[in-house]
Amino acid sequence: MPLNIPHNLPAVEILKQENIFVMDDERAAQQDIRPLKVALLNLMPVKITTETDFVRLLSNSPLQVEVDFIKMKDHQSKNTSPEHLATFYKNFDDIRKQNYDGMIITGAPVELLEFEKVTYWKELQAIFDWAAKHVTSTVYICWAAQAGLYHFHQVPKYPLSKKMFGVFRHAINDTSVPLLRGFDDEFYAPHSRHTEIKREDILRVPALQLLAESEESGVHIVMARNGREIFITGHSEYAPDTLNNEYTRDLNKGLPIEMPANYYKDNDPQKGISVKWRAHAHLLFKNWLNYYVYQATPFYPEEIEQLEDLDV
């Protein structure tokens, strides 16, 4: 079953052009199936791009998924229209009494700030604590991964001498973990960040399991509580042109930026982009939905009542 999202969300038309089938909310309402409920807390400034990136990955599953888009209550977005936010987004207060099968918390362009100096840090901490109790499995992406590791396990982040920018090769540390089932021994993922978390800090915390890492870009995937929390420092969700757009943007602004590593064919922007991460990105989120959301989700109260009525 495909994704269940509002029929007028901009991502729908974008993905139709990519031949990706997305079931809108009007058609999904006709089916007698309880979809998986997934919340997407979108901390990125250009929200429509991020919506499309994650909808693309979540739609590539036989499971029907219903997505709620969440924003921070006390943060005003400068790059997304108020009309879009009012139409498609909820605040944390709107969902805090609900339970979700899954949740994704995106990165944010605040990584050089200390966590406590981020204007919405206290609200975000409340969401982290809520998710630990009300969500079956939560995926933390890039800065959110660093923030989650700091909040739950006091793992610090460190500034890099230059931006980690490009597509990097990763190795799997434990091939038995269902999250990485079907992965090749080595896989690629994009990174775009100015800070890092260190391997030795992860290994010092018994509750954390380091699943994948890179000789170049360092720690990549960390898991806690048997998958209730999954921390990913890279951007498997990125569309093919995202790093190119970031590179071009910074060049036009005169900012110090190196060409993204291992990204262009023969490291020549004129030859186009070599996409190395798409298949593993789809497999990563398909595995997450299947093994950590769908198979791990507890019964809803109404389902338990139905089973009791059947004397099961």
Cite the active site residues: 142, 235, 237
Q: In the chain, which residue ranges form alpha helices assigned H by DSSP?
A: 10-17, 25-28, 47-58, 82-88, 92-95, 121-134, 143-153, 199-203, 242-252, 278-287, 301-309
Specify burial of residue 257 (Cβ count, 10 A radius: 0-12, 13-18, 19+): middle
Q: How many CB atoms lie within 10 A of CB 250?
A: 15
DSSP one-letter code for 93: H
Cα–Cα distance measured from residue 32 to residue 28, given in angstroms and rounded to the nearest whole number: 8
Cα–Cα distance measured from residue 45 to residue 163, given in angstroms and rounded to the nearest whole number: 19
- CA 7 to centroid of chain Cα atoms: 22
Return the bridge partners of 70, or none: 41, 90
